[in-house]
Amino acid sequence: MLLQKSISLQAYNTFGIDVEANYFANITSIHQLRQIIFKEELKDIPKLILGGGSNILFTGNFEGIVLLNAMKGITLIRETPQEVWLQVAGGEVWHDLVQYCVQKNWGGIENLSLIPGSVGAAPIQNIGAYGVELKDVFISLDALHLPTGQLRTFSKEECQFDYRNSIFKQSLKGQYFIYSVCLCLQKQPVFNTNYGAIQQTLAQLEQAGKERSIATLSEAICQIRSQKLPDPKVIGNSGSFFKNPEVPRSILEAIQKNYPKVPNYPLKDPNKVKLPAAWLIEKCGWKGKVIGNTGTYHKQALVLVNHGNATGKEIYNLSETILQSVKKQFDIELEREVNVIGMN
Ligand code: EPU
């Protein structure tokens, strides 16, 4: 059945929070989506687009309709001796797409292996890991405007990509259902191995007889991620809960007085640096702490977890306490990366 009522969303968010939505629709085509949004009883109620549910925290029931993007398909739309362009439906699982490209030996997204979530959600926060961001391979996307049902193609510039950010998290938040994304992959792979642990893990795989290839790099990334990050199927979580803050250099210098080795990354603006939120949170004593049903992951302080039966409010309250403690100790205001539904 296309439209369901009073549905539990527990299986649809990687935190595993048990809340309900008044209405729920599994969207497999644009035609179907238009039928739903123009239905008399649904046209004026709140709408929430859901992909893999891996970047969302529900703090209460959702009084509206959840539109689950279940559109599938990967199509090769252009090929040259150097590159391929793929048109990928928004409901495809991101890691399935990565594996598809790795098998074909098409380079560009192997560093984004094992990122949870769907293809349609990837541009919203410009997913990134290990020195690569979605914007590096992005060409355009197609989306449906929920209030009017009109279709629109967005170029890369129009998406206004930034660190874990795009126009779809800002002025156009919640307005567009992204049903297709066009990406450009390279046939002559360029290996991106500068980030921290990659060199070391690759060297181990090569010592074990593996050749340097897109597949080996993807394997290295999968190993690094699964050693550090909890599997949402085992422990509910949504990856990094906060963004890494960009701060004035003076703040870094103040921290360096007590912690000369604080990790930091340069930015285009020489007066600013990016600091790892995980380090700040750990230094405030939160790493691995268990508070009721929630806590931070013992191997990665930036990941808030559901130890079982946590409510969204409990997790939100923990995030608020962490925010205040980092503010007090370092005078830095962390910003949530995860989309909180029901608190604002
Ligand atoms: N660190 C700590 N304590 C910890 C964990 C890390 O001090 O508990 C330090 C590390 O020693 C390192 C620094 O913090 O110096 C950075 O750690 P890491 O390389 O693990 O990356 P991150 O900055 O915590 C970011 C992304 C991740 C992405 C990794 C790898 C954000 C908010 N997070 O994490 O993305 O996988 O880099 O590129 O930018 C996500 O967005 O959900 C996500 C997992």
Domains of the chain from N-terminus onward = 3-69 (3.30.43.10), 74-186 (3.30.465.10), 236-341 (3.90.78.10)
Q: What is the pLDDT along the chain (344 residues), one digit of tens a residue?
A: 589 999 999 999 999 999 999 999 999 999 999 999 999 999 999 999 999 999 999 999 999 999 999 999 999 999 999 999 999 999 999 999 999 999 999 999 999 999 999 999 999 999 999 999 999 999 999 999 999 999 999 999 999 999 999 999 999 999 999 999 999 999 998 999 998 789 999 999 999 999 999 999 999 999 999 999 999 999 999 999 999 999 999 999 999 999 999 999 999 999 999 999 999 999 999 999 999 999 999 999 999 999 999 999 999 999 999 999 999 999 999 999 999 998 75
- Round to whole Å and give the CA distance between 138 and 119: 11
- Round to whole Å and give the CA distance between 178 and 89: 9
Q: How far is the CA of 224 from the centre of ligand 1 (A)?
A: 11
Residue closest by Cα to atom 40 of ligand 1: 240
For residue 113, the cross-strand partners are: none
196 in contact with ligand 1, CB cutoff 6 A:
yes
Rounded to a whole number, what is the distance in angstroms from the first to the last CA of the chain? 32
Q: Can you give the pLDDT at residue 1?
A: 52
Report the run of H or E that residue 138 belongs to, with start and end: strand 138-145
Q: How far is the CA of 191 from the centre of ligand 1 (A)?
A: 21
**Sheet strands (E) in 161-292:** 176-186, 236-240, 246-248, 265-266, 272-274, 290-291
Residue closest by Cα to atom 34 of ligand 1: 240
134 in contact with ligand 1, CB cutoff 6 A:
no
Catalytic residues: 164, 240, 337
276 in contact with ligand 1, CB cutoff 6 A:
yes
Q: Can you give the pLDDT at residue 196?
A: 79
**What pTM does this model have?**
0.96
For residue 79, the cross-strand partners are: 84
Q: How far is the CA of 276 from the centre of ligand 1 (A)?
A: 6
